[in-house]
Structure 1
Amino acid sequence: MKYDLDTGMGTRIGLVVLSTDETLETEARHVLAGRDVGVHHTRIFSDNEVSPANLLSMQERMAASAALLPGELNAVGYGCTSASALMGPDLVEGQVQLAHPGVPVTNPISAVVAGLRALNASRIAMVTPYSAQVIAPMRTFLESRGIEVVHNLSFGETDDRRVARITESSTHAAVTEAAKAAGVQAIFTSCTNLRTFGVIDTLESELGLPVISSNQALLWHVLGRAGTDARGWGPGWLFQTEGVRTAVA
């Protein structure tokens, strides 16, 4: 029997998701449900213990993991905030583009910088699940790009499996506390495994400040890099701004 072919979904994005992550794909469905966007996932092995050495080891596996994504993608997002800060965006992009030459690539920490710039926020408080050894290079990355971290609050959790179980009410309480720091213009909740989509809008309403999470920023930015106007698709003030189509320095 004869059949017809079409071009598939209108926009095609890829996500490289950590093997320990239980949150990114779920929150991506929140943004993309019913949209003319095809989202394709691959997994990259990551150790349960979140440490600088374990995070950096993912660079050895990134190209092979990205190669499992289908071709003809409009953009790819690598889903680890802390590893992206440690490796640097250029290395992440280079490894992904070994499998997908010329395809725009982003990551959560670059996406957060782009989001904060879009919201004109340069003084932030940061809420993370991480140890001090993981937080330090993230602060350095942000501050090297003009983002002043005036306060940091951490759950002190090093097991990524437990991070996925941190309740949104705990994150709500942590963000509320972090927002008390003087001069804060936005709150950044870091980690793609930390659930936030159920509390972002409530927190912004209560605090009168933008709240940016790793997954929110990554999805907003990867859609922007793919040339898709995703305003209104996701939670928070960030998804009321037009996505950035260029890479972040």
Structure 2
Amino acid sequence: MTALGFLYPGHAAEDDYPRIEQLLGSDIRVELVHTDIGEDAHRVDTLRGAGSPERLAAGLEELRLAGAEAVVWACTSGSFVHGWEGAHEQVRGLALAAGMPASSTSFGFVHALREIEVRRVAVGATYPDDIARLFADFLRAGGAEVTAVRGAGITTAAEAGAWGERELFALARAADSPDAEAVLLPNTALHTVAHIPALEKELGKPVLTANQVTAWQCLRLTDRRVNAPELGALFTREPVVQV
């Protein structure tokens, strides 16, 4: 049995995680602890505060008692707003406090792109434009070429969590560009897990979403690989040998 630990900000699309657990198989257990986000607002100052060491550390004891073998800060914007170096510092501090391997959703996107050997990407973000651009900058720092960025102007996680299939597909279609090899949909407040295969079929390319890559990143930290086609192309590829 492998226990995956997640620190999830507030309440929005956390029901994606029981679904992920079902799709991963009976020997994977998902442990999720909610963190305090303070004000629910997609602004740089509030997002940095949501991912502060104190707020992240508050949920770690519960994950340790649950037997988690690794922990991921299940928040895209609460990590990339710190910039490339700041996000590294954030997860280093989290690993030290947790006493186990740690990462964040933002790094999950970067590593997932390397896994599927994709460089050129289009971004469809629920965020306001300035926050969406910060995510694109983070991806570029990780080696990606961002061909298009589409922001939806949503300013709270609660609003993103209320989106359904219609809004999700509309954002993905609007964000896609012909030269993009994959479409990325950040924000762990957005329900996506039930729709990934249909999104990939419609767009004809891999689609990476925040809760999907968060789970994949935690598995990566525990050296587990799971074939789960219902979680998209990321979970069906052979391992990439890193040189």
TM-score range for the pair, normalised by the shorter chain length? 0.7 to 0.9
Q: Which residue of 2 aligns with 1:6?
A: none
**Structure 2 CA distance, aligned partners of 1:193 and 1:48?**
11
Kept after mapping to 2: 8 A contact 1:231/1:242? no
Query: Unaligned 5+ residue runs, structure 2?
Result: none
Preserved CA contact (<8 Å) 1:52 1:86: yes
* Structure-2 residue corresponding to 1:13: 4
User: Which deviations, in whole Å up to 9, do the C-alpha atoms of 1:110-163 show, x marking residues without a partner?
Assistant: 111111111111111101111123122211111011111111112101021111
Select which of 183, 187, 197 maps to 1:187. Answer: 183
Secondary structure at 1:175 match in 2: helix
Structure 1 CA distance, aligned partners of 2:218 and 2:230? 13
Partners of 1:16 and 1:244 lie apart in 2 by 28
Match of 1:159 in 2: 156
Tell me the distance in 2 between the aligned counterparts of 1:245 and 1:62: 32
Deviations 1:214-240 (A, max 9, x none): 111111111121122211164210111
Percent sequence identity is: 25
Post-superposition shift, 1:243?
A: 6.8
The 2-side partners of 1:233 and 1:11 are apart by: 20
The one-letter code sitting in structure 2 at the alignment partner of 1:17 is: Y
Residue 74 of structure 2 contacts residue 105 of structure 2 at CA under 8 Å; is this kept in 1?
yes
Displacement, 1:244?
8.3
Residues 155-190 of structure 1: per-residue CA shift (max 9 Å, x gap): 1010211110011211112212222x2311100001
Tell me the secondary structure at the aligned position of residue 198 of structure 1. Answer: helix
Decide whether the 8 Å contact of 2:121 with 2:148 is kept in 1.
Answer: yes
- The amino acid of 2:237's aligned partner reads T
Q: Name the structure 1 match of 2:76.
A: 81
How many residues are paired up?
233
Aligned pairs for 1:5-154 within 5 A: 10-19=1-10, 21-23=11-13, 25-33=14-22, 34-46=25-37, 47-58=39-50, 59=52, 60-71=54-65, 72-87=67-82, 88-101=86-99, 103-154=100-151
Superposition pairs for residues 171-182 of structure 1, below 5 Å? 171-179=168-176, 181-182=177-178
What amino acid does structure 1 have at the position aligned with 2:58? A
Contact 1:77/1:105 (<8 A) preserved: yes
CA distance in 1, matches of 2:88, 2:240: 18
Letter in 1 for 2:101: P
Distance 1:205 1:116, change over 3 A: same
Moved more, 168-177 or 90-99: 90-99
> Offset of 1:107 from its aligned partner?
1.2
Q: State the shift of 1:28 in Å.
A: 1.7
TM-score by length of 1: 0.86
Return the index of the structure with the highest Cα Rg: 1
The 1:243/1:77 distance shift into structure 2, 3 A limit, reads farther
Structure 2 length as normaliser, TM-score? 0.88
Equivalent residue for 2:205? 209
Which amino acid is the alignment partner of residue 194 of structure 2? G
Deviation string, structure 1 residues 5-56 (Cα, Å, up to 9, x no partner): xxxxx1112110111x321x32221221252123222221112111110011
**2:228, 2:235 within 8 Å by CA — same for their partners in 1?**
yes
Deviation at 1:75, TM superposition (A): 0.9
Change (3 A) 1:146 1:98: closer
